[in-house]
Amino acid sequence: MNSFKAKAKAQHNIDTHDPITVTYRHILTTNITNKHPLRVVALVDSDAFYAACEMVRLGVDRETPLVVMQWSSFIAVNYPARKYGISRFGKDLVSVEEARKRCPELRVVHVATYKEGQAEPGYFDKPDPLTHKVSLDYYRRESKKIHQLIADSVPAGTSERASIDEAFIDFTRAVLDVMLERWPHLSKPPQDDMDSALPTPPPINWDGLGHLIPSNDGVEDPEAFDHETTWHDVALSIAAELMDNIRKEIDSRFGYTTSAGLAKNKFLAKLCASYKKPNSQSILRNTAIVGYLQPLPFQKIRFLGGKLGQAISEEFEAATVGDLLSIGLGELQSKFGDNAIWVYELMRGIDRSEVKERPDQTKSMLASKNLPKPITRPGEGQHWIRVLAAELALRLREARAETPGLWPKSIVLHARKGYESSRSRQAPFPFVQDATVDVIAAAGDKLWKELVGVSWTDKTKVSSLQLSFTGIATQETGQQNIEGFFGSRKRKRTEEEDVEKALDDAHDVGFSEFTCERCSKNIKIPWGGKEEEMQAQAIRVEHEDFHFAMDLAKSADMATAAPSKRPDSRSKTTAASSKPQGKGIEKFFKRR
């Protein structure tokens, strides 16, 4: 209930979010900043996104409980399934079997995987992590469709892709447009005085606009809960209408339900989006901000979950945002340096960060594989690099189909040995007509040798590999020539041959053969069942090992001859000397 009262308002200035006088200038300005008094930001989040994607793909009913698995863990659990106590993090419920026992009608879907380095991913009931590689491509594509629809539904440049299933929208511009359309007199300031205050705002009917987070700000008098309507509330209600329309459109067009939060800035929008889920939206009026924040344990807030939050909590014996409100800025600064202002403001719901449009295309593309059974032979590495290359080839091809000029600047290979942190090597990725598996794998192999070649021993175990493209952008001039990039290669392959070969890799029947990149030799491999596949793989790995050994001999010579690259320049610039312990509090920005 929100009665429209004409009582004189008592301005309390302690509350930063108090109504400030909104003028005609505010309504008519074309320059909307993050300080605009009617600023409204929304955060939209798809409900149980991967699970929703699979429900759409399989055409299952909305009420069907469904989980998405990645190996043996739940990566997404839809809301019907959550009712059975199945959760992503459940410690009392870990196995699919248990989940099925609790919920017999549960649909269980494993994410798509590449089997044995095939050219395209497929769905398997119980893929083997030793031989398969996860593909998240479908979710990225669905995400893109949703973001495109959002971007097309709001003024240009007012939406931001925040993650695979989240987007921010700055509704301020759109809201002002609606206001002027709905109340034309707002464009005519009395006596042409742009700085005169707007008339009293109209009453608002919040019905159907979402969940209003209560304005319970700790005041005892129930009358005090009933705050007067402000122009910012009007702005929120209009944004809520717009948001609701967009959410309905996402649902009817693509079948995805979403939840949204609406508030005066990004931080608060994100925070209130989770107030009520799923398929719902929540509204945080300025009068409700303090009340909503106060009981919140601040260590749940972004960036405060780690050491900084822990340090603050110990220093001030505080747990909630409310506990911290009594700490002055000076005191906070004396203990926590530059971050103090940012923390101080956040605790008060202040966040000036802008909603900024991000290019649709990501700047990097990563294909990675954790190796449950670490590899002990370099040839196995080449096998997995080929698998990763196949995925990158497909994804780059997709991206280029949409944006033809796209090309990555560099290719990077990361490898983790045992429990050490991972090491990487990168190289330019010169333009070729078509990014085939072969071209990418060859570049990856080269990096693989640089990375582990000279240092490979009997005891070397590589437990993780990541191959990625970085600096993906539409191509500018230059670097059209690949001649000499793969020095050892004699024969120049045509694009058609490359495509053909990539397809062969996946689809040949009976007895197959592969052409070795290095020696151009055609090597026969069995094809057919699981058994044959394993044999084929063994042959491939064997052959790769052979080349690797040859290279090793070569590069070992080179290493002793020219130690310019990488011998032990490491040992000098490590730990003690290199890190100035982070300036100020930056060292606290490490989780856990």
Ligand X SMILES: Nc1ncnc2c1ncn2[C@H]1C[C@H](O)[C@@H](COP(=O)(O)OP(=O)(O)OP(=O)(O)O)O1
Partner DNA sequence: TCTTCTGTGCTCACCAC
Partner DNA sequence: GTGGTGAGC
* Site for DNA contains 590 (CB under 7 A): yes
Minimum distance, C-beta of residue 394 to DNA, in the bound complex (Å): 11
- List 165, 233, 323, 438, residue binding ligand X (CB under 6 A): 165
Restricting to residues 93-152, which ones interact with DNA according to CB under 7 A? 129, 133-136, 140
Quote the least distance from Cβ 69 to ligand X, whole Å: 12
Nearest to 391 by CA among 435, 431, 359, 452: 435
Which of DNA, ligand X, none does 50 bind, CB closer than 5 to 8 A by kind?
ligand X
The smaller minimum CB distance to DNA, of residues 286 and 468, is found at 468
Q: Which of residues 292-311 bind DNA (CB under 7 A)?
A: 300, 302-303, 305-306
Residue of the chain from 428, 528, 563, 584 that contacts DNA (CB under 7 A)? 428
**What is the CB-side half-sphere exposure of residue 316 using CA atoms within 13 A?**
23
User: Considering only residues 429-458, where is the footprint of DNA by CB under 7 A?
Assistant: none
289 lies in the site for ligand X, by CB under 6 A: no
Type of residue numbered 114 = Y
Selection from 381, 392, 390, 413 nearest residue 541 by Cα = 381
Closest distance of CB 414 from ligand X, Å: 17
C-alpha–C-alpha distance, residues 362 and 378, integer Å: 31
41, 54, 65, 79: residue in contact with DNA (rule CB under 7 A):
79
Q: 72 to 101, contacts with ligand X by CB under 6 A? A: 75-76
Extract the runs of DSSP E, i.e. beta strands, from 386-499: 406-407, 410-417, 423-428, 462-470, 473-474
Residues in contact with ligand X, total (CB under 6 A)? 12
For DNA, the binding residue among 2, 333, 362, 535 (CB under 7 A) is: 362
Contact flag: residue 275 with ligand X (CB under 6 A)? no
569 touches DNA by CB under 7 A: no
Q: Is 511 in the site for DNA (CB under 7 A)?
A: no
Candidates 164, 180, 186, 319: give the one binding ligand X (CB under 6 A).
164
Q: Which does 23 bind (CB under 5 to 8 A by kind): ligand X, DNA, none?
A: none
Structure tokens at 231: 């122009």
Show the binding pattern over residues 220-259: x = contacts ligand X (CB under 6 A), - = does not.
----------------------------------------
d(Cα 245, Cα 233) in Å, to the nearest integer? 18
Instruction: Pick between residue 5 and residue 590 the one whose CB is nearest to DNA.
Output: 590
Burial class (CB in 10 A: 0-12, 13-18, 19+), 388: buried
d(CA 468, CA 448): 13
Q: What is the 3-state secondary structure (H, E, C) of 273-336?
A: HCCCCCCEEEECCHHHHHHHHCCCEHHHCCCCCCHHHHHHHHHHCCCEHHHHHCCCHHHHHHHH
> Helix 49-58 vs helix 137-153: angle between axes, to the nearest 10 degrees?
100
Compute the residue count for the chain: 592
Q: How far is the CB of 156 from DNA (least distance, A)?
A: 19
If binding is defined by CB under 7 A, does position 366 make contact with DNA? yes
Quick check: 82 binds DNA (CB under 7 A)? yes
- Single out the residue of 328, 324, 348, 314 nearest to residue 588, CA to CA: 314
Q: Which stretch binds DNA (CB under 7 A): 186-194, 236-244, 357-365, 481-489?
A: 357-365
Residues 426 and 470: beta-carbon distance below 8 Å: yes
Using rule CB under 7 A, residue 386 touches DNA: no
Any residues with CB less than 8 A from the CB of 503 and at least 6 apart, and which?
119
No. of helices (H) and no. of strands (E), the chain? 18, 19
- Contact at 8 Å (CB) between 17 and 240? no
HEC letters along 10-55 = CCCCCCCCCCCCCEHHHHHCCCCCCCCCCCCEEEEEECCHHHHHHH
**274 lies in the binding site for DNA (CB under 7 A):** yes
- Judged by the rule CB under 6 A, the positions of this chain that interact with ligand X are 45-50, 75-76, 164-165, 277-278
- Judged by the rule CB under 7 A, the positions of this chain that interact with DNA are 49, 70-71, 73, 75, 79, 82-83, 85, 87-89, 91, 129, 133-136, 140, 163-166, 274, 277-278, 300, 302-303, 305-306, 358, 362-370, 372, 391, 410, 412, 421-428, 464, 468, 573, 578, 580, 583, 589-591
